[in-house]
Structure 1
């Protein structure tokens, strides 16, 4: 009788884990609580639904660590990256996708796979036996989260994550806004015009900051100790760190020329990125927020060009849960106290769609190899995936462990290269060349482990 791999959660990590294991010939059951049990952030029951940004960030596989991770996932027949490429939207050098068709395609591919079943319903406790991957992500249900905390013998760790608002394109004043990617980045005209830009004078910027700081914000429960993830800070938190913080962050005016007034340099610029293929929706880049809904509409309509903006979705904030992986997981992503259970995705302490899917890819392959009685060699530490899994399963300092995006700081140094900014380009290229060779060799070693297309 075929042994079954059970996966709790059908997000990026769970979907990728199921795809990889099923392609190795293992029977997989995905347990997804939606749509029977909803979350505040999800809108559908689709697998792989994107609830925050629609961007997988930089697609540069020679100078950017997340772009390198894209490359490694494509080389490993990754479902998430293949589907993202199918539904790609113009976004300069970034990989942005049309979120609804993306999730629909992921769901259809998993439903059509002969080795995959999908069961809808909540799993409220960790199982006692079998082969399991917990890929419940940041919105782990209350019951399962409590059981995970009890099983690990320590309090659940958490941080706050925020969502940016989405605007209807036909409500944006194009007599003020213009289309341009920063520094005209992109190989095609669509890529070079992938972002919508709203300029601000100094007075407008100062008035915006005043309104932002004075706005009514969501208050958390007394005793809440979760922190913010630095890569997804609410804009009002950034503004509280200094009035110029936003102007040197998501509102920086560099690399842009106002098409309506080329001679005047904007003091600040708000960028919006296309959120669907039709171009009817745009999300406000970097504008995650914990402002209350009424305050959001008032503050965001102070942005030139958005005075009459209509919102398809306002921003929000939610509590994300993750475990202290360096102390709890072994290098096969198994829970040390219950090795029949693996963890994957954002709950392990990685941050971002791509990083979550990457850990799902590894967990799926590791679990499938174990079920098949085969030995999967450890991912090479010099690859992006190897550097990331090494960080979360032992490389990070457990006492200060916090969610982490993939970055070149996780990589072992390449000897003989120049330091500092002047040598950075050569150093990053050396990292990516070394990583691609190591990852290709690792995939080749798995010749005995069948992975079909």
Structure 2
């Protein structure tokens, strides 16, 4: 008799897990507390709502680890990647997504699946029986977080994450700003002009840094000891590390030419990326912030071209929760102390939309396989998905475990290749070639099961 799989959390991981398990023929109940219980970052009750950036990062599946992960998720008929491709926005070599239609598509496809039902309630306890996946993400509710801490016997680890502001396009002064992707990347004109650029000379940059450092910022409560995820540092924290840090980070001017002053090289450039298909909204790339709202408008309007900017959303900071997966989870993503419960997504210590969805895909297939009596093998660590699960289930050092994006440093070396920067392109291509063969081999087990 087929049993039902319960999944808590309707974000990237939970949505993907529900889809994958249902596609294997297992009934799923997807438990989501929104919109009945709100969070700091969410605006809707949709599944798969994007709350930070709208970018899935690089889509290059030959030279980039996250692009390879895109490829693997597409090969696995992933819901998240299918919806992302359907609502893709021009973004050079990156995969950027029109966030609201994307979430609406994810929601509609889950609601339409005959084996998926939804329950809008807050789950505050770890269940004793049945098959469950906890995919509540970085904004796990306090009640469930306390239950997880009580079960694991230790405080859940945490870090702080920040989101960037979004600007109305018609409030950007295009007499000062211009459209261009860095180094004119992209095959079409739309892709080559996917970003809006705002230039600064040295005096403007120095004044901006001064204002940034002096601005009122959100202070943490006494006892908050969590650090930041390095891939999403607030701009103020970057500026505190050195006055030139931003100019060599999100404000680097290289690969851009200002058509208003083609002979003048900007000292720094602020880039904005299209946030919706209509082109009416743009987010400020890399400008995650913990500045208070009033300070944000004052400081960001110092940017040439944004002096009259109108903001659809200001930035903010929130506390993210993740577990010490190398200690707590086995390679089937099960909680060692309670094996009827799996964890998936960002709460496991992976970072990024696609990484979260990939762990949801894996948890959904593994749970469905267990229910059906057809155990699912762990993917080879030579694949992007396999490298991630290997990392979080024991490959990482538990004492220093922190959230991690997929990267080639998680992959075992390819035999016969020499290291060094000169051979990096060949090395990365060897990684991706090997991964695609091994991923196809891993997926073959499901074709055999279906047969």
TM-score category of the 2 structures, normalised to the smaller one: over 0.9
Work out the CA distance in 1 between the residues paired with 2:122 and 2:351.
24
Work out the CA distance in 2 between the residues paired with 1:307 and 1:88.
29
Question: Residue 435 of structure 2 aligns with which residue?
Answer: 435
Work out the CA distance in 1 between the residues paired with 2:319 and 2:195.
30
| Partner-residue secondary structure (3-state), 2:423 | helix
- Equivalent residues in 2 for 1:354-369 (5 A)? 354-369=354-369
Question: Residue 232 of structure 2 aligns with which residue?
Answer: 232
Question: Where does structure 2 lack aligned partners over 5 or more consecutive residues?
Answer: none
Question: Residue 204 of structure 2 aligns with which residue?
Answer: 204
Q: CA deviation at 1:447?
A: 1.8
Work out the CA distance in 2 between the residues paired with 1:450 and 1:58.
33
| Partner-residue secondary structure (3-state), 1:421 | coil
Q: Which deviates the most, 396-405 or 373-382?
A: 373-382
Q: Which deviates the most, 376-385 or 93-102?
A: 376-385
User: 2:162 touches 2:234 (CA, 8 Å); kept in 1?
Assistant: yes
Question: Residue 178 of structure 2 aligns with which residue?
Answer: 178
- Equivalent residues in 2 for 1:134-153 (5 A)? 134-153=134-153
Question: Residue 423 of structure 1 aligns with which residue?
Answer: 423
| Partner-residue secondary structure (3-state), 1:223 | coil
Question: Residue 406 of structure 1 aligns with which residue?
Answer: 406
Work out the CA distance in 1 between the residues paired with 2:267 and 2:358.
39
User: 1:24 touches 1:449 (CA, 8 Å); kept in 2?
Assistant: no
- Equivalent residues in 2 for 1:298-377 (5 A)? 298-377=298-377
| Partner-residue secondary structure (3-state), 2:321 | strand
Work out the CA distance in 1 between the residues paired with 2:232 and 2:108.
30
Work out the CA distance in 1 between the residues paired with 2:67 and 2:192.
19
| Partner-residue secondary structure (3-state), 1:167 | strand
**1:9 and 2:21 correspond:** no
Work out the CA distance in 2 between the residues paired with 1:10 and 1:449.
28
Question: Residue 32 of structure 1 aligns with which residue?
Answer: 32
Deviations 1:74-102 (A, max 9, x none): 00000000000000000000000000000
Question: Where does structure 1 lack aligned partners over 5 or more consecutive residues?
Answer: none
Work out the CA distance in 1 between the residues paired with 2:406 and 2:324.
17
- Equivalent residues in 2 for 1:41-440 (5 A)? 41-440=41-440
User: 2:30 touches 2:116 (CA, 8 Å); kept in 1?
Assistant: yes
User: 1:9 touches 1:32 (CA, 8 Å); kept in 2?
Assistant: yes
Work out the CA distance in 1 between the residues paired with 2:36 and 2:222.
30
Q: CA deviation at 1:417?
A: 1.4
Work out the CA distance in 1 between the residues paired with 2:108 and 2:449.
25
Q: CA deviation at 1:444?
A: 1.1
| Partner-residue secondary structure (3-state), 1:307 | coil
User: 1:25 touches 1:450 (CA, 8 Å); kept in 2?
Assistant: no
Q: CA deviation at 1:419?
A: 1.5
Work out the CA distance in 2 between the residues paired with 1:2 and 1:373.
10
User: 2:2 touches 2:372 (CA, 8 Å); kept in 1?
Assistant: no
Q: CA deviation at 1:445?
A: 2.2
TM-score, L = length of structure 1: 0.99
Work out the CA distance in 2 between the residues paired with 1:105 and 1:129.
32
User: 1:17 touches 1:363 (CA, 8 Å); kept in 2?
Assistant: yes
How many residues were matched structurally?
451
Q: After the TM superposition, which parts of structure 1 deviate over 6 Å for at least 4 consecutive aligned residues?
A: none
Work out the CA distance in 1 between the residues paired with 2:125 and 2:375.
29
Work out the CA distance in 2 between the residues paired with 1:449 and 1:52.
38
User: 1:23 touches 1:450 (CA, 8 Å); kept in 2?
Assistant: no
User: 2:56 touches 2:354 (CA, 8 Å); kept in 1?
Assistant: yes
